[in-house]
Amino acid sequence: MKKRFDVITIFPEVVAPYAEASILGRAQKNKVIAIAAHDLRTWTTDKHHKVDDSPYGGGPGMVMKVDVIEKGVKALKVRRPAGRKVRVIVTSASGKPFTQQDAKRLAKYDQLVFICGRYEGIDARVEEHVADEAFSVGPYVLTGGELPALVMIDAIARHVPGVLGKKASLEEESHGPEGLLEYPQYTKPEVYKKWKVPEVLLSGNHKKIGEWRKGKQKAAR
C-alpha cells in the first residue's frame, strides 16, 4: 500500500521541486510513496480566497484561519480507503522537537497530513482540535512551515521499506538504533594536500575497520 504525504500550504510550488528530486523523487516514480502539495485557498468560500485574519486581542500580523484549515484536513482524510492509519501534523516553532524516533514511529502510518503555517502563525484551535501533533525542527523561526514539513517528510520516508536501496544505509547512519552519530567517511583520492585517509581503512582488515569505526562514533546529543 503506497504511503501518502499530503502538505497543506499557501505555497505549493515550494514543495514540489524538493519532493520530486533524488531519493524522494525516485520513491515516487517507483510508487512506494506519494507526496502532494495542496493549496489551502482551495477550501476557502469567499471571492478573495482569504486564509488569514487579524488576531483577537490585537497585535501585529495575520493569523491563519481554523475553519479553512479544518476543511482542508477533512477533505484529504476522506480520500483515504477504509482502515488506513492517518496522522495530522502541524509545523510550529512551539511544537515538540522532531527526532529520529519520531520519524521511525510516523513511518508506520499510511497517510500523514502536514499543515504549514505562514504569517504570524496558525489559530491555536488547529493544534488543539485538528492536528494530532505539533513539531518544531529547531530552536529558530522560519518564514513558513514548508521547509520543516519537507525535513520531516524526508526523515520519515527513509524508514519506509523500499525508499532506500540498502537497509544497512539506514542502520549505520547517524541517530541509528544505538543513538550514535555516524563514523567519518572517506573516498578517493587517498592523499589530498597532504591530508591522508586513515591507514586502517586501507588495510582490508574488516575487523579492525569495524573497531575503528565504532570507536569514532559519538553519542548524539
Query: In whole angstroms, what is the distance from residue 64 CA to residue 52 CA?
Result: 4
Which cell numbers in the block locate residue 99?
A: 527526532
Taking a C-beta distance cutoff of 8 angstroms, is the pair 91, 149 a contact? yes
DSSP state of 130: I
Our CA dihedral for 107, 51, 92, 14, rounded to 10 degrees, sits at 60
In this structure, what C-alpha cell is assigned to residue 62?
A: 495575520
Question: How many CA atoms, within 13 angstroms, populate the side-chain half-sphere of residue 170?
Answer: 18
Quick one: angle between helices 12-19 and 22-29, nearest 10?
A: 80
CA dist., res. 96 & res. 179, Å (int): 19
Q: How far apart are CA 185 and CA 196, in angstroms?
A: 12
Residue 117 marked as a ligand binder? yes
CA-based end-to-end distance of the chain: 35
The C-alpha atoms of residue 53 and residue 139 are separated, in whole angstroms, by 26
* Residues placed in the known binding site: 117
Would you list which residues are annotated within the binding site for S-adenosyl-L-methionine?
117
